[in-house]
């Protein structure tokens, strides 16, 4: 090998070594700068996290706690009252017309219509049993299924009782 070939290889090796050092330096700088940028959290993920870690209840103590507990109780009662079905009406005809008529007019699922023949086996059980089956739900031996509160859990027991009484009064 000649002298100028060795000189070229020496300079070329130095250039390659310099480029490797610069590349490694840029990779380390980019990694460091990327670590400085805070991670972006979507608002939905933050909201789900807050809902998951929120406390379930609260502790009230002393005189100030009693006031806070009374306010919380009043707020809960107002929220529950706003979720009562059909505005809390006790008119069985309104509730029957909006909810019960789907099954008890057509006889779907074995539901008794307002025909006296369909109620012959049920009437001897008494009103209390009919009320209980309407509130808690019932599966009969013939496969008939009455969902609890007619499938609307927002109904109060009094509304269900009023509707059952309306149905019994309107059997033809």
Phi and psi, residue 140, nearest 5° = -80, 170
Q: Give the pLDDT confidence score for residue 84 in this predicted structure.
A: 75
The rounded distance, in Å, linking the Cα atoms of 59 and 62 is 10
Fold type of domain 88-169:
Cytochrome Bc1 Complex; Chain D, domain 2 (1.10.760)
CB burial readout 90-99, b (16+ within 10 A) else e: eebebbbeeb
Phi and psi, residue 87, nearest 5° = 65, 15
Over residues 4-17, the pLDDT tens digits come to 888 999 999 999 99
Over residues 107-152, the pLDDT tens digits come to 887 888 888 888 888 888 888 988 988 888 888 877 788 888 888 8
Q: Is 114 exposed, middle or buried (0-12, 13-18, 19+ CB in 10 A)?
A: middle
């Amino acid at each position: 090998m000649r002298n100028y070939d060795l000189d070229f290889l020496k300079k070329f090796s130095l250039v390659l070594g310099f480029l490797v050092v610069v590349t490694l330096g840029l990779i380390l700088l980019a990694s460091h700068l990327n670590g400085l940028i805070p991670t972006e959290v979507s608002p939905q993920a933050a909201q789900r996290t807050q809902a998951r870690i929120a406390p379930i209840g609260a502790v009230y103590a002393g005189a100030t706690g009693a006031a806070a507990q009374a306010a919380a109780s009043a707020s809960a009662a107002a929220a529950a009252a706003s979720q009562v079905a059909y505005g809390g009406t006790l008119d069985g005809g309104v509730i029957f017309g909006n909810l019960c008529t789907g099954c008890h007019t057509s006889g779907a699922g074995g539901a008794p219509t307002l025909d006296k023949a369909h109620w012959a086996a049920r009437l001897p059980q008494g009103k209390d049993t009919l009320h209980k089956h309407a509130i808690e739900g019932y599966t009969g031996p013939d496969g008939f299924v009455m969902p609890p509160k007619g499938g609307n859990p927002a109904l109060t027991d009094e509304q269900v009782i009023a509707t059952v009484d309306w149905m019994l009064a309107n059997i033809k």
